[in-house]
Structures are given as structure tokens and as C-alpha cells.
């Protein structure tokens, strides 16, 4: 039945392939083409990544050499900096905004906004998204949200300074932080962003359910599409919870309600329950697409079918279900009933199992392969190995007694960066190197790619691994001067080492920027299928025109038929029709 | 790496450290196995002309094994953790000494009940950022907050407990060694969060008696 529907749905889209010539505005700015919207999300996310990264470096400078002049910042006025010396409240604004930007305006726009948009229609064999105008609105509403978020730096009192988790009552009353409109704009921006994500997720779900090409059953979808499908469902269900919490916080701040204020009968822990009920699925929203991307790239460059395709899909579905019942592990020390802590510990231990399954299947995919060490592959391998560290370090926090000690220390900071940088950001780099030829019609430079990868991989580990040591030493998060504490002074050389590595990590991104822009204009022209991959996007021209395919492809098999004995080449595209007896044998 | 842990001076600190070490060994071994396997595969199965990749879609037996083994390890770990968790946070043991700690931006207000052992009476004594307790006794902390959420963190005692406005939360510890130990706030509480810090003074029995006499001469 769904095949019939998808044919009908695509038929309505065929007509707008006809009127090609759109003006500049409709082509590049208010475009309804999913590929242009994807590029917009990519540029938006990369721009924000630079801002978020610079903030991280300022934070690191302060931690290594507390209360000294931060180089190159004398232009930043009061009340943020005084002649290059950072004020404590600005430090709080910096780590709040670093995390807010990286989570909501870098990883989500790039992994979900850019690659969701680019890959879903191309990989399921559709001409565009189900709702192209909604898709355009999703980007522009997201852009408005970004502008509102950045505007927070320009209002009196400065930006939100309560951490990206924004725990009430610190954030619910202006006097507690001295921040007024900064915090309000933070709430408003994320409410707007919620609308943008909602529009995107409805579009993704509708498109995947209804517009798959003939023969593209659910279990012939590439794992990256599975991951984006699951993420869209998580977004649809999780964001309304955040939006409600933000609305309540805004009402507490502006309308005199007391949802989170005990003086008026409110409950501070309510914020934490609502925030983490959204926040834990959110963590998987950040990592699942990278898991899908990693799986696809591993199979392509190992020239092997993915090991345990169904186990991979089901483990992602398992993560999606379990992600709703683990939020309490952020709250073990919050004063929540300790008996609840026990329940959340068990569910948290259980959610580690699907991640373990995925890791072993990635290893299984490498086993017996014919591995090509291209730049996308190196980044995908980095994703797998760094995600392993991030996953394993999570077990420490899952154990409630160990969490008593490491909660709110740098151990948590190390963990989240291994998952979100080591996992999601290496996933982003892998995806950019891999799909750049399809997206822009030109190849990225492999040598520059490797000059980017190796320093990044090494500097990343030098930056974030020692944070485990800080955590074990008891170093608290979100403090502006560790030298104020006697027990932290012996750890200061570790802080200095981390900061030097972080600066190196920042510098290591320069080859990427050069490679990206140079390849955009002067890279080698990409052929249709430069990586000799099986999935449908490589059946379209590079870059695909409006409408994507000359003719809607018909799908005959799963996405990972590499080194199949049926053909002499080591790949067998999903849409290639073999002689009839072969086609039967393939199933 | 674990040698970076601050010195432990509480009765239950060893239980936490033992679990910490156990998880360290389990995850360390797992990481080592995964890393060695991965590197070995990357070397063994690097692209070589004329050597095709193995065409296989997986193995159900392996899937079952690597689902069940981690699941069993993790569930066992949960049960081992539960005993220690229940001991520390589950129910409070009978207290020898009561102390009320009220957090506010950016200080710890410490209230001692005095000779009558009751808080909220006339002989209460208040001090800022100083917790004086005897060694080898169960100390019950009545934790409150006047404004925002703070977190009562004793790195050397392996104790952390958030202080939440609007409610009293109890936490306990028992020191095993006299000394002076830092008491930082571990939850972001505003621009003065960094530097919000008190001290816990653990006194030997005689010295503690002397301290009590000094502050409550009538008793």
C-alpha cells in the first residue's frame, strides 16, 4: 500500500520539475528545494560553530590562567570584560552560551537540519520533501531564533548566565543572576527554535512514511535514514515538553507566577524533571544521526555489508524507547527520592546495551573488509572509537554511588564532550567530507582533509581526556577560578595542558575551513558516484538538480550490497536491475 | 588515573571508591579489547589489490552473545551499586551530632543545636562557612537553601547533596580522620558560585569537647 501512496505522492511533485528558472531570491534565499535548505542549515551551523568555539577558548583561557588578561579581548566592553580581564558573570554567560549554541545551533542544525534535509529525499528516492514550503519556513524560523539568541548579548544585564540547563530558581528570578532580558531572550529563542524543529520533524516523518521510491521498504532504508526517522519522532515528542517548561519559566520571570518558586508554592525540581524529560531524548537526538552516518560510511569504505543491519535498526529503536525513562539519572543528587534513583540507575544501565550492540556491529563490519582510509572513513572511525570512550565513561555516572562523587565535576564535562564532540562532531566531519561531492558537485581535497583530521583527532583527545583526571580530582564544573580552592591547586597544570590543547584544536580547524571554501569553488568536479556507493543519492547527478532524479529510481535490494558475489564490481546499487534469475536469488 | 582521587576520610568513602575502581577496571578492559580489535582489523583488513571483502550480513549467535553479556554485567553492577546507594542516601542512621547547613548566595550558614541537641531553640549557635564536628561520630546534616539551588560537596568524604529552597534534605557522614577539609558549592548558584566555599573541621574527641565548652560555657 505504501508503495502505491509513494508513487501517487511523487507524481504530484513531478510537475514542479518543469518550471526551473527561479530568480535569485527563490533559488538561494527563500528556496523550497530541500538541497538548498540543507546548505543553508550547513552554513548557519558552521558559522555558529565558530562562535561557540571561540567562546570555549575564552572559557579555557580563564581556567588555565585565571584572572589574567585574555588576549585579543580588550575590545569587549563592560560589564563583560574590564580591560581584557573577564568578569565572573561574563564567564557564566560564556559557558551558558557555548553549550546552548553548540547543542541547539550547531549539532542540531547540521546533523538534523542539513543532513536530514539533504539525505532523506535523495536516499529514499523522492523528488523533494512532502511539504517544501514548511521546510523553507523551518529554516527561516530557526534563523530568527538564532538572531534572537545572539541578541541576548546586546541587552542590559548581559546574556543568560544560568547554564544551558537553566536550573530554576536561579534562572526564574532576575535578582539571582542580575540577568534580565538575556534570560528572557534565551527562553523566547528556544521556544521559536522548537517551532522550527517541529516543522522539520513533521516533514521528515511524513516524507519517510509516504514518499519512498517503489521497492524502498523500511528494511531497505539506509541506517542513516532510520536514524533520522527515529530522531524526527523524538523531536516531535520531546520539544513540546521543553517548550512548556520554557513558557512556565518565562511566566515566572515576567508574569509573577510561581511554578518553580517555593515561596509561592512552586517546586524547583519540577524544572529539572521537565528539562531532562526533554533533555535526555535530546542527547540521543544529537548522537543518533551520527550513528547512522557512521554506519553508512563504514560499510562503503570497508566495501562490506553492514554487520547485523536489523540489530542496528532495532537497537536504535530500543534507544528511542529507553531514552524516555532515564532522565532521572541527571538528578541523583538533586534531593529526588533515593528510591527513584535506583529505578533510574537500572534503566540507565539498560540503555547502554543497545549502544554496546552497535559498537560490536561496527567492529563486525570492519572484520574481513577491504578498508579504504579516505578522509570520511577516518572521521567515521574516530566517531566509533571516541563514542566508545564516551559511552563507557557514562557507566560511572549511571552507578548512583559513584555519581555522588563525580556529579557536577569535570568528569561529566569529559563525558559529554566525548559523546557530542567525539561522537556528533566527528560524525559531522565524516558526513561533510562524504557528501560534499553530492552537495556541491566538487570533491574536497584529500590531503588537506588528512591535515585536518590527524591534528584534530590528537588535539581532541589531549583536550578532553585529561578532563577525566580533573573530575576524579573533584574539580567542579562551572567555576571561574579553580585556584580559589586548595584541593584543586595541584590539578592546575592539567588545566593548563587542556587549554593549550584546546587552542591547538581550534587551530586544527583552519585546514578544514580552507579546504571547504577552496573545494566549493575550485575542487575537482565530482562524478555521479565518486565513492562507488550503493544508496540512491549517488544515482542522481552531482549536484542533483531541482527534482533530484531524471526518473524516480526503483529499488531492488538493501543499501549495503558491497562485494556481492552476484556482480564483478564490489558494489551493487540499490536501483540496479539484474537479470531476472539474479533478482530472485538476491532475496 | 585513579590516584588523582582526593584522600578519603569518611566511613563509606571506601565503598564508593571500590565501585569506582571496579567500573574503572571493567570499562578499561572493555576499551582495551575494543581498541585492540579495531586496530587489528584496520591493519589486517586494509585494502589490498586482489583481496575482496568478505560478503556477510552478520551472525545471529554473535548478536545474542554481545547483547546478553553487557546486559548481565550492567545489571550486576546495578545491584552492587544499590547496596552502597541505600547505605549512604537511602535511610539516615541514628545521629550523634546534628548540624543545620543553610546555603545562600554565596555562603554556608552553619547552625549548631547547642547542648539541648534541638535546632530552633535559644542555645543555637550560628557560624559562617565553618562546620565543626567530632571524629568517628555520625553527623546528620539538615540541608536547606535560602535562595537558589546549591550543592553541599565534601570531596574528601565522597558526599554531595543538593540544597533545594523550600525543603529540608538530610545527608550524613562519619569522619575517620581529624583535619580541615574543603566544602565547595558544586551547583552553579550565580556570579559568586566560584569561590563559595566553607571548611569542615574534624576534631579529635577531646579537642571537640574543648570547642563545645568554648562556645557553650554554661553546658
Q: Which residue in B3, B4, B9 sits closest to B183, CA to CA?
A: B9
For residue A1, is pLDDT > 70? no
* Beta-strand relationship, B97-104 and B169-174: unpaired
For CA atoms A449, A453, A456, A460, the dihedral sign is positive
Q: pTM of the entire structure?
A: 0.94
The whole-angstrom distance between B83's CA and the closest CA on chain A is 9
Give the pLDDT band of residue A235 (cuts 50, 70, 90): very high
Q: What is residue A587's predicted lDDT score, i.e. its pLDDT? A: 46
Give the pLDDT band of residue A22 (cuts 50, 70, 90): confident
| Pairwise CA distance, residues A532 & B53, whole Å | 15
What kind and span of H or E run contains B29? helix B13-44
| Pairwise CA distance, residues B67 & A469, whole Å | 31
CB contact under 8 A, B38 and A363: yes
For residue A10, is pLDDT > 60? no
**Residue B43 near residue B35, CB atoms below 8 Å:** no
pLDDT tens per residue across span A48-66:
999 999 999 999 999 999 9
Cell numbers given for A188: 523566547
The whole-angstrom distance between B181's CA and the closest CA on chain A is 9
Expressed in angstroms, the distance from the first to the final Cα of chain A is 20
Strand order through the sheet with B169-174 = B125-128, B107-112, B97-104, B138-145, B169-174
Residue A486: list chain B partners with CB under 8 A: 182
Residue B63: list chain A partners with CB under 8 A: 308, 311, 357, 361
Q: Which residue in A394, A361, A404, A384 sits closest to A560, CA to CA?
A: A361
Rg of chain A on CA atoms, in Å? 24
Q: What is residue A4's predicted lDDT score, i.e. its pLDDT? A: 41
Residue A338: list chain B partners with CB under 8 A: 85-86, 89-90
pLDDT tens per residue across span A344-357:
999 999 999 999 99
Chain A residue closest in CA terms to B90: A338
Residue B196: list chain A partners with CB under 8 A: none
- Asked if B207 reaches chain A (Cβ–Cβ under 8 Å), the answer is no
ipTM above 0.90, yes or no: yes
SS3 A107: helix
| Pairwise CA distance, residues A319 & A327, whole Å | 13
For CA atoms B52, B57, B62, B67, the dihedral sign is positive
Q: List residues bridging with A409 in a β-sheet.
A: A476
Q: What is residue A306's predicted lDDT score, i.e. its pLDDT? A: 97
Chain A residue closest in CA terms to B167: A262
Count of all residues that appear for chain B in the document? 219
Percent residues over pLDDT 90 in chain A: 93
**Residue B114 near residue B69, CB atoms below 8 Å:** no
**3-state secondary structure string across A252-320:** HHHCCCCCCCHHHCCCHHHHHHHHHHHHHHHHHHHHHHHHHHHHHHHHHHHCCCCCCHHHHHHHHHHHH
- Asked if B164 reaches chain A (Cβ–Cβ under 8 Å), the answer is yes
Interface of B with A in 39-68 (CB under 8 A): 41-42, 45-48, 51-59, 62-63, 66-67
Digitized pLDDT (tens) for each residue of chain B, 219 residues in all: 889 999 999 999 999 999 999 999 999 999 999 999 999 999 999 999 989 999 999 999 999 999 999 999 999 999 999 999 999 999 899 999 999 999 999 999 999 998 888 888 888 999 999 999 999 999 999 999 999 999 999 999 999 999 999 999 999 999 999 999 999 999 999 999 999 999 999 999 999 999 999 999 876
Alpha-helix residue ranges (DSSP H) falling in A441-578: 446-472, 492-507, 510-522
The whole-angstrom distance between B94's CA and the closest CA on chain A is 18
For residue A15, is pLDDT > 50? no
CB contact under 8 A, A400 and B41: no
pLDDT tens per residue across span A152-205:
999 999 999 999 999 999 999 999 999 999 999 999 999 999 999 999 999 999
- Asked if B26 reaches chain A (Cβ–Cβ under 8 Å), the answer is yes
pLDDT tens per residue across span A280-325:
999 999 999 999 999 999 999 999 999 999 999 999 999 999 999 9
For residue A26, is pLDDT > 90? no
Q: List residues bridging with B180 in a β-sheet.
A: B201
Residue B173: list chain A partners with CB under 8 A: none
Give the pLDDT band of residue A28 (cuts 50, 70, 90): confident
CB contact under 8 A, A485 and B197: yes
Amino acid at each position: 500500500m505504501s508503495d502505491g501512496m509513494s508513487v501517487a505522492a511523487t507524481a504530484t511533485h513531478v510537475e514542479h520539475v518543469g518550471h526551473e528558472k527561479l530568480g535569485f531570491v527563490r533559488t538561494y534565499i527563500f528556496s523550497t528545494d530541500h538541497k538548498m535548505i540543507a546548505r543553508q542549515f550547513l552554513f548557519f551551523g558552521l558559522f555558529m560553530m565558530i562562535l561557540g568555539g571561540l567562546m570555549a577558548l575564552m572559557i579555557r583561557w580563564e581556567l588555565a590562567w585565571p584572572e589574567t588578561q585574555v588576549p585579543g579581548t580588550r575590545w569587549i566592553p563592560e560589564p563583560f570584560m574590564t580591560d581584557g580581564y573577564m568578569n565572573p558573570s561574563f564567564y557564566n554567560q560564556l559557558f551558558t552560551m557555548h553549550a546552548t549554541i553548540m547543542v541547539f545551533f550547531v549539532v542540531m542544525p547540521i546533523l538534523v537540519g542539513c543532513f536530514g534535509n539533504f539525505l532523506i529525499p535523495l536516499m529514499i528516492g523522492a523528488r523533494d520533501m512532502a511539504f517544501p514550503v514548511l521546510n523553507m519556513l523551518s529554516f527561516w524560523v530557526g534563523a530568527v531564533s538564532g538572531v534572537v539568541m545572539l541578541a541576548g548579548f546586546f541587552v542590559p544585564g548581559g546574556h543568560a548566565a544560568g547554564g544551558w540547563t537553566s536550573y530554576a530558581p536561579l534562572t526564574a528570578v532576575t535578582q539571582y543572576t542580575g540577568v534580565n532580558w538575556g534570560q528572557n531572550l534565551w527562553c523566547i529563542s528556544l521556544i521559536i527554535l522548537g517551532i522550527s524543529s517541529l516543522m522539520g520533524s513533521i516533514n521528515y516523518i511524513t516524507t519517510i512514511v509516504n514518499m519512498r521510491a517503489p521497492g524502498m521498504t523500511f528494511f531497505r532504508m539506509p541506517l542513516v535514514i532510520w536514524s533520522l526517522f527515529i530522531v524526527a519522532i523524538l523531536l516531535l515528542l520531546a520539544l513540546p515538553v521543553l517548550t512548556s517548561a520554557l513558557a512556565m519559566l518565562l511566566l515566572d520571570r515576567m508574569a509573577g507566577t510561581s511554578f518553580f518558586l517555593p515561596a509561592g508554592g512552586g517546586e524547583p525540581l519540577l524544572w529539572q524533571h521537565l528539562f531532562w524529560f526533554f533533555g535526555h531524548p535530546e542527547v540521543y537526538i544529537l548522537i543518533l544521526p551520527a550513528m547512522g552516518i557512521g554506519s553508512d560510511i563504514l560499510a562503503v569504505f570497508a566495501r562490506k555489508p553492514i554487520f547485523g543491519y536489523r540489530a542496528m535498526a532495532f537497537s536504535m529503536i530500543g534507544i528511542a524507547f529507553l531514552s524516555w525513562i532515564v532522565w532521572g539519572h541527571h538528578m541523583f543528587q538533586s534531593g529526588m527520592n533515593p528510591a527513584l534513583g535506583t529505578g533510574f540507575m537500572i534503566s540507565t544501565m539498560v540503555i547502554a546495551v543497545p549502544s554496546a550492540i552497535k559498537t560490536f556491529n561496527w567492529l563486525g563490519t570492519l572484520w574481513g573488509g577491504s578498508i579504504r582510509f579516505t578522509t570520511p572513513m577516518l572521521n567515521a572511525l574516530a566517531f566509533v572509537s571516541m563514542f566508545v570512550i564516551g559511552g563507557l565513561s557514562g557507566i560511572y555516572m549511571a552507578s548512583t554511588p559513584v555519581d555522588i562523587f563525580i556529579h557536577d565535576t569535570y568528569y561529566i564535562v569529559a563525558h559529554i564532550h566525548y559523546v557530542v564532540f567525539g561522537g556528533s562532531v566527528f560524525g559531522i566531519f565524516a558526513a561533510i567530507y562524504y557528501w560534499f561531492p553530492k552537495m556541491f558537485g566538487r570533491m574536497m581535497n584529500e590531503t588537506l582533509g588528512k591535515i585536518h583530521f590527524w591534528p584534530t583527532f590528537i588535539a581532541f583527545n589531549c583536550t578532553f581526556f585529561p578532563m577525566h583526571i580533573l573530575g576524579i580530582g573533584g574539580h567542579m564544573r562551572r567555576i571561574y577560578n579553580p585556584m580559589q580552592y586548595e584541593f584543586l591547586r595541584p590539578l592546575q597544570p592539567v588545566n593548563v595542558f587542556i587549554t593549550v590543547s584546546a587552542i591547538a584544536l581550534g587551530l586544527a580547524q583552519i585546514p578544514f575551513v580552507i579546504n571547504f571554501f577552496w573545494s566549493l569553488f575550485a575542487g575537482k568536479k565530482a562524478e555521479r558516484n565518486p565513492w562507488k556507493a550503493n544508496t540512491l543519492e549517488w544515482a542522481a547527478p552531482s549536484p542533483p538538480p531541482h527534482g533530484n532524479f531524471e526518473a524516480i529510481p526503483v529499488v531492488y535490494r538493501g543499501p549495503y550490497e558491497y562485494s556481492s558475489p552476484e556482480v564483478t564490481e564490489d558494489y551493487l546499487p540499490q536501483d540496479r536491475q539484474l537479470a531476472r534469475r539474479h533478482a530472485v536469488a538476491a532475496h | 588515573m585513579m590516584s588523582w582521587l582526593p584522600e578519603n576520610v569518611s566511613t563509606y568513602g571506601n565503598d564508593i571508591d571500590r565501585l569506582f575502581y571496579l567500573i574503572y577496571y571493567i570499562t578499561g578492559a572493555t576499551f582495551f579489547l575494543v581498541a585492540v580489535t579495531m586496530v587489528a582489523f584496520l591493519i589486517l583488513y586494509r585494502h589490498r589489490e586482489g583481496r575482496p571483502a568478505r560478503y556477510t550480513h552478520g551472525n545471529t549467535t554473535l548478536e545474542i552473545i554481545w547483547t546478553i553479556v553487557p546486559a548481565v554485567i550492567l545489571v550486576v553492577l546495578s545491584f552492587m551499586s544499590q547496596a552502597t546507594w541505600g547505605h549512604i542516601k537511602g535511610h539516615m542512621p541514628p545521629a550523634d551530632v546534628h548540624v543545620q547547613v543553610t546555603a545562600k548566595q554565596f555562603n554556608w550558614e552553619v547552625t549548631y543545636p547547642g547542648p539541648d541537641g534541638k535546632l530552633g531553640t535559644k542555645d543555637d549557635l550560628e557560624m559562617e562557612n565553618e562546620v565543626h564536628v567530632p571524629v568517628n561520630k555520625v553527623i546528620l546534616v539538615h540541608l536547606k537553601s535560602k535562595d537558589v539551588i546549591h550543592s553541599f560537596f565534601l570531596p574528601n568524604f565522597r558526599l554531595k547533596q543538593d540544597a533545594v529552597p523550600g525543603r529540608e534534605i538530610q545527608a550524613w557522614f562519619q569522619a575517620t580522620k581529624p583535619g580541615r577539609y574543603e566544602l565547595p558549592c558544586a551547583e552553579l548558584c550565580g556570579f559568586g558560585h566560584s569561590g563559595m566555599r566553607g571548611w569542615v573541621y574534624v576534631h579529635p574527641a577531646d579537642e571537640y569537647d574543648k570547642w563545645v565548652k568554648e562556645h557553650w560555657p554554661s553546658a
